[in-house]
Each structure stands twice: as structure tokens, then as C-alpha cells.
A and B are shown apart, each in its own frame.
Chain A
């Protein structure tokens, strides 16, 4: 584990609001994108001449395209309700990480160029010219926002800083100042089909390997099909699910659930990515282009339903935006919502009594559940508001004997971001990621101490990767973060098919749990 080159905050029983410490994170900025990564997305390769005028033009265009931006830049009264809500402020103490101060970085430019008061009395209303210094501040601090929307929950006008940081990134991209991590990844989706750049043959190989592993473990032939025309369900899942830990254990779980449901399903090599980083950079055009791949795959594979795997922002784009970006879905089976979340799918089967679980398989764990920000505050599951909180918890309760929630102030719609969302899951922002995880980990540490919790389940690829990396900085183990469908996978009792050897089932199961215990001890 890499040694930290910065001071890792100490966990406290409850997250305390730190005193304002100006410029504490002014040095933090992600690597800038290069021409090779900018051009395929339709952005200039480097800072354009006349960038100031072009940025203001772009801002004007966005103000005309997004009511949210227009209303939010006008409406803030600086009441301060959001000031102690951002995990990055709580973790870094930098006042520009208070949501209102982050917004003000754009608001001061908006006031200067687009309002009467700012044009005539800039000093009075805090309006400022768009200078190089301001641009640098934008680049630094609009990449210290994970677009988790926690601030918008507490704002009396619902001002959503995510909308503002997305607009800021779009404006910066339009003048050639892009972020390497997001833009390079989007390029990979266009070129290869997924964020990780895994080509079709590699995926096929991985999935065959999974089938063998599951058969070895359980003695049951569970299929992990890809590009199968005519399957009923298209599964779109984050590409990290194909090999990263603990993500892949979730994918194994989805396959087992489909197996028990008895439905045919397939992945797609064309749409082998649920993530849509177009949202992080605020680019409607790129988000649209990425989402279209899912429509193309659904048509090509002649599926009837679309189900999404565990991924937070992907579920936001899927649930809230997919109908807008890639609909209408009139060619799919109208009896099911489009798209569905894998948790909705599993939960429905549990409700219908179609899944059998042996909860003792998870008895080596005491669980808590991390509500991923985009699922919690920007989407829904099921038919009633709040289903996004209840359904995953119901699945955990159905598959595990030991479950405790974290502090009420840090879960459900008040959940803290993992610290790595919004396109910040990159090593060049490690300090920010570690500090930003503090509020979440304070609450986790609390249930570890008080309730003996050993593992935290999540349904977001970014959360899983972030915690895997960040937990060791705080003296925790990287495998304390688990996929929700990993729990399902452990506990589900599989029905053998006609060519499965039933006898092999029992001893293999035992072997499996023993192996896991040794893994944890190591």
C-alpha cells in the first residue's frame, strides 16, 4: 500500500465541522487532458486563443439550455445551510469546498458578464472578471466536487452544485481545458466499448473463466453469455464488474440470479459499459452518444428487457436519463420498466418466493450498507419513492443474518459520497479521495466499534473501487467493501440443471467458505 504523502485525517466518532482553513486544497488538481483525448470528444486540444470570450459565450449558451443553471446562479441567498454538508469540506477544511463557495466561483463570473448589478457594481455583489487565476481555481475546485448532490438536499431552493460543476467542466472542455481521467475514458468507450478498454475477445475469455469458476464452486452450470441474439434480457453493467474485486463477485451473483429466474440473458460487447462519464463532464452530446450504444445493442440483440448492474451514476443516467437520451423504448416488453436495476430484479424474485437462500453462508460477516449518492438522491428503485433505500436493504436482510445501519444522518438521502465519485476516481487526486472519504468512514468506524460490523456492502462500481483503495489509509482492510450481489451469490441455493452433478454441490460449498475465511485472515 502506498504511503501517504499528506496527512490522513483521524477518524472521529461523529464527523465534526472543521474551522475554515483557506487554500487548504488549492494545490489539488487532476492531470489535464491532452489533444489525443480531447479531439475524439469534440473539444479543442489545448487552451484556445481568445478563451475568455469563448468561455463567456459558452456560459451564455448553457444558461439558455439549462434552467437549473440559470435559476441556481440567481437564487442563492448565502444562507449557509449547505456549508457543512459537503464531504470534501468536512474532510479538507478548505472553504472553497463548501458548496456555496464552489458555486460562487462560477456565480461571480456569471454576475460580472450576465447581470446588471455585476456589470455596474462588481465589488458590491462579489462579481469578478474571468481571469486566468479564476480559470485555475475553476479547474482545481470543480474537480473537487463529486456531484453527489448532498448539498441540494439541504438547500431551501434545491440548488444543486452538481449542475454547476457539470456546467463548469463543459465550459472548460469547450475552451480546451479538459480532465485527462474522464476524457480518456470516454474515448475508450467510443473506440472499444467500455471504460477499461477491454476488447470483445477478452470479455468472452473472462466470462468463460467465470462459468468454470462457478461450476467448480457449486457444481451447477451457470451461464455468463455475451452477444447472444434473441436473449430476453440485456444486462448492462460497469466494466469493472468483469474483473475487479469485489465487483466481479457481484457479476457472478447477477448470473446466479438469472439462472434461478430461468430467463435468458446476455451481455453485449458493443454496450459493455454501464458507466456514462459524459454526465461527469456535463456534456449532453457525449452522454447522448454513449447512451446510444445501449439502444444499438438492444436492437441488434433483439432483447425484450434491459437490466443494469450495480453502478451508482450509471443508474442515475439509466433511471433518470436513458429514456431521454436513447428512448423511446417502445420496441421492448411494455410489462417491465426500462431500464430495471438488478436489485429490482432480484427483489421481485424474492417477493415471488422464487429464490432460496442459505443465510448462514454470510454468517462470517456483519454487514452495513452504503447508500451510493447517485442511487440515493438522483434515482429510484421500485414503485414508491425511497425504494432505492429499502430494496437493497431488503436484499441484504434476505441473504444475511447480521445487518446494522450506520448513523441515520449519514445514510439514505443524507448519505455521504465515498469520496471518489463524479470523475475523481483517479490516482492523481488521491489526497482528495482519502480526505473526502472521512465522513463516510467516521460513520463506518462507528458501527465497526459499536456493532461489530465487519463489511460494508455497496451497489456502485466507483464506491467499491474507491473504498478498496482508501480503506487501508484509515487502517481498515480493502476487502471490507463487498458487492451487494456478492452476498446474494454467497447465499443463493442454486437449482442444478439436468447435466449438473448434484453430489458435487455440498462438499464444494464447504470448501468455498473455508477458502474465504483463509482469504480474510491473510
Chain B
């Protein structure tokens, strides 16, 4: 048992390091790479605050996807919003005392878990049923969907069927903050659930999951439409001017 607990402790330190370091590296890389030309997809906002509003609509409502494909939007939005609720619900394992808003969100987190699975199932079905989407799907796309579905299902099973000692789980994670390794319940479902979550964290900065930070750096969405008013020039392009 001690071995398993130690293994999972190490796994989560490693996964946390990879996702933090990997994402930081990517975000720094995106931020440092210049966008030499003004390329917002127009009509675009003409002010900074307008751009913030546009980005919020993209991040919260998936506005462009809504315009593009209603089915993908419904399933995609269900999945992401469900995932958000589930993540908020899970925060209780990582804090003591639990913040009041996180207490409030607890019941909604369960619905979130269900919405997540339904959304994922819909997205996955499209990869088989729509010939165009099937054509562009690669093995990794199936694997990431499988990973997320398994994470969701193992989580829901623990909630509704095979209960786990969540108090011990919580003390395990709280212990990790101070490098005190508390025993983890030796439940196969929990082991699988946690292993897959760690795997998800590890692949995050090396896969298409980079769409999360990527969106914020997309020049077609985050640029202000003011090229005539303000001269925009990248450092490497300035060299051409001598």
C-alpha cells in the first residue's frame, strides 16, 4: 500500500510540474512571438475593452463555434461547462476550510459530470458519423476523448455506485502541499481515476489541449481594429526599414 501511495504522490508531483512548466513555457513562447501584422477577423472591435468583450464571448459562449456548427457547439459547450462545474466541485479536495462558493457548487458539480459525459459522447459520435469529421480525425483525437470519458465515468461510478473514502483522498492531497505523504485508499476505481487525471495533466502542454491558452493569443480574435490610427510594427520588421 505504501508503494502505491508513494507512486501516486510522485505521479502527481510530476504531473503538476509538467503541466505548470509546460504551459508556462508555451505561454511565454506565444507571448514572445511577435504578430507582425494586424489580422483581426473583421468586423472587429476598435477598442481594447471591445476586444475583452469579444474574447469573453469566445471563451464563455464559444460564439464562433455557435455560428459554425450548432451540434458541435451544443456538445462542446456541454462538455466544457460540465468540466468547469466538475473542476469547481473537486476543489474541495484541495482546500481546508472549503470556500463558501465551492460549497454552493457541490450539487451542480454532479450535473456537470453528467453533462460532461453526454457532451463527450456527442463529440465522439460526430467523429464516426460525419464523413468530413471522420476524415480529419487522427488516433490521438480518439485517445483524448477516450481518456476524458474514462475519467468522467470512473468519477461518476465512485459517486453513484462504488463509494470511496473521500476524507482519506482529501488528506492525501492536502498532505502533498507540505510533502507529507498520507495514505491513499487502495480502491481500483480511484487508482484508475487518479492515474488518468495525471495522464491528462501530463499530455496537456504537448497536445491539442493547447487550444486553451492558444485562444487567448489568437491574433484574429485578440487584436484591436485600429491599424490606420496606430502604427503596429514588429521588432524584426523594423529592421527592414533601416
Contact B136 A70 (CB under 8 A): no
Comparing B68-76, B94-102, B156-164, B176-184, the segment that makes contact with chain A is: B68-76
Comparing A122-130, A170-178, A392-400, the segment that makes contact with chain B is: A122-130
- Name the A residues within 8 Å of B45 (CB-CB): 385
Interface presence of B24 (CB below 8 A)? no
Interface presence of B103 (CB below 8 A)? no
B111-152 near A? 1/0 per residue, CB < 8 Å: 000000000000100100011110111111101000000000
Cβ < 8 Å to A, chain B residues 6-23: none
Contact B208 A75 (CB under 8 A): yes
Tell me how many residue pairs across A and B have CB atoms closer than 8 Å.
Answer: 216
- Name the A residues within 8 Å of B210 (CB-CB): 74-75
Cα A159 to Cα B221 with chains together (Å)? 9
Comparing B165-173, B191-199, B225-233, the segment that makes contact with chain A is: B225-233
Task: Choose among B26, B58, B139, B228 the residue that contacts A323 (Cβ–Cβ < 8 A).
Answer: B228
B64-106 near A? 1/0 per residue, CB < 8 Å: 1101110010001000000000000000000000000000000
Contact A79 B72 (CB under 8 A): yes
Interface presence of A87 (CB below 8 A)? no
CB distance from A417 to the nearest CB of B (A): 14
Interface presence of B34 (CB below 8 A)? yes
Contact B72 A67 (CB under 8 A): no
Cα A383 to Cα B29 with chains together (Å)? 34
Contact B225 A158 (CB under 8 A): no
Give the nearest-CB partner of B45 in chain A. Answer: A385
- Name the B residues within 8 Å of A379 (CB-CB): 42
Contact B236 A65 (CB under 8 A): yes
Task: Choose among A76, A80, A123, A321 the residue that contacts B132 (Cβ–Cβ < 8 A).
Answer: A80
Contact A125 B140 (CB under 8 A): yes
A273-308 near B? 1/0 per residue, CB < 8 Å: 000000000001100100000000000000000000
Contact B211 A75 (CB under 8 A): yes
Cα A265 to Cα B211 with chains together (Å)? 49
Q: Give chain B's interface residue range (CB within 8 Å of chain A).
A: 35 or more
Q: Give chain A's interface residue range (CB within 8 Å of chain B).
A: 35 or more
Cβ < 8 Å to A, chain B residues 182-237: 203, 206-208, 210-211, 214-215, 217-221, 225, 227-234, 236-237
Contact A115 B206 (CB under 8 A): yes
Task: Choose among A17, A66, A149, A385 the residue that contacts B43 (Cβ–Cβ < 8 A).
Answer: A385
Known A66-B36, A67-B30, A82-B68: A157·B211 in contact at CB below 8 Å: yes
- Name the A residues within 8 Å of B126 (CB-CB): 80
Cβ < 8 Å to B, chain A residues 198-253: none
- With most chain B CB atoms within 10 A of its CB, the pick from A104, A288, A378 is A378
Task: Choose among B33, B139, B207, B208 the residue that contacts A64 (Cβ–Cβ < 8 A).
Answer: B33
CB distance from A388 to the nearest CB of B (A): 7
Give the nearest-CB partner of B138 in chain A. Answer: A126
- Name the B residues within 8 Å of A322 (CB-CB): 227
Contact A285 B240 (CB under 8 A): yes
- With most chain A CB atoms within 10 A of its CB, the pick from B211, B229, B230 is B211
Interface presence of A185 (CB below 8 A)? no
Task: Please list 21 pairs of residues, one from A and one from B, whose beta carbons are closer than 8 Å in the complex, sorted by A's number.
Answer: A20-B131, A63-B33, A64-B33, A65-B34, A65-B234, A71-B217, A79-B69, A81-B68, A83-B132, A123-B139, A126-B138, A126-B140, A153-B67, A153-B68, A156-B76, A157-B218, A157-B221, A158-B218, A288-B240, A323-B232, A324-B38
Apart from the given pairs A66-B34, A126-B140, A156-B62, 14 other A-B contacts in the complex at a CB distance below 8 Å: A66-B35, A68-B219, A70-B33, A81-B68, A95-B136, A115-B206, A124-B139, A124-B143, A154-B68, A320-B38, A320-B227, A323-B231, A378-B39, A380-B44
